[in-house]
Structure 1
Amino acid sequence: MTLSRVATVVADPGSVDAAIASRFSCRAFLRDRPVPRATIEDILALASRAPSGTNTQPWKVYVLQGAARDALVEKACAAHDAMYADPALAQEYREEYDYYPTRWVSPYIDRRRENGWGLYGLLGIAKGEKDRMHAQHQRNFRFFDAPVGLMFTMDRVLGRGSLMDYGMFLENVMLAARARGLHTCPQAAWNGFAKIILPHVGAGEDEMLLCGMSLGYADLDAHVNTFDTPREPAASFTRWVE
């Protein structure tokens, strides 16, 4: 470790706090406002400072722009539409690891429902409007119109601890993006389409898809971007042991 890193003083903690507090899952981007490659490279280089057990650095990133992005969107949307028409096809598109629990319990199921119905309520999608729900869910597979799509993988040989390491890397990506005026949306929705995504990006057979992410400039006029997810107060999840 360099002396400069040890001695570094964060002179503007308010900006760090603002980057954290202003991060949210952006669901509408400006498609026609590109993100320079150099900016993406800077974000990923900074994010790589995330800690990882014994410095294993398990992250692998695939950046999709232009024609490669658009081609993946078409493939994923076609598969999503096919599954909607024939739910039995869902068996062909299964995520490789359990992102969500197999059995939901409170308070987690309550927060999940609040989040889902809160978003649909904001968009005026009523319970039972399956076509509109499907269309909104498919926005994931259009990267919410973001010009940049990111796919994150890691080698299957690694253990569950690497998933924790990876989470810190992903958060660094999102905060570094905020520092540069960009927004993101981390997306586990892509995980079921690994059999489409991994060959498309040229990933190796030993790689596992962890999630996707949309990256770009937020559409400030989009109503969906006013959706605010609540957080529990720190006192509710903290126990002081003295």
Structure 2
Amino acid sequence: MEDEKNEREDEKEMEKEMEDEKYEEEDEKMEMEKEMEDDKNEEEDKKEMLCKEFSYSFSSNVRSQRFGAVMPGYDFMLELREEILPPNAHWLANERLHVSITHSKTHKNSMVSSFTSREDLIKVLLASCFMSLYAGLKPVEFQGQVMVSCNRLSWLPVLPVVRTIIVSHFSSPLDIFSAHKGISNLHLRLANMSPRFSKDNIHMNQSLFPPLLPRLTALEQKGYQDAVDFLKKERWMNFLA
């Protein structure tokens, strides 16, 4: 009887030890996952800071030119080639990022989502930013064709398969936009855009001469809040939590 009792106690002790080991392994796993998540968040914070620093520096350089972005001899497109994209950027963007560009002669619009190299990705992004005179005189060449920014009929391209969330810096009846004070109910029809008539919408000066850092920071926060307000309105915040 005594032997059986001791044997049961030994079995219980072994079960307890196994249970403790299981908990320890789970704790170690959770700790490792937390460290990986922290490392990932830290890396994302670094990337965000890098993008901000580049944007602030770029706007400062444009503002320092006598005639801003259209200063003769100043090529802001060259600055946009800054080594900010990671070496595998084209792989990360492939079939995820869709960029609208237009053939400079035929004016045929194309949506590019396949990138075979980092250089291809950069060229497509530069082409999507190119507007004659404002961005210089020499358009971007991509796959042997001269391409420029999207044409007047495709300023806001919409994907045919999924819902396209449209973000605009104009105050207009779109998904995410900048709500301006003192706006009117009058709209200007520009292709598939309908910006409202407002003082803030006429911001040619800010296009040529980007605002100072405090104003840029305020615009950044405003854009963030506009996006949050949209997600709340659509009841999508819970999916991002």
TM-score band by shorter chain is: under 0.3
Using structure 2 for the length normalisation, give the TM-score: 0.27
Using structure 1 for the length normalisation, give the TM-score: 0.27
**CA radius of gyration, larger in:** 2
Higher relative contact order (CA 8 A, sep 6+): 1
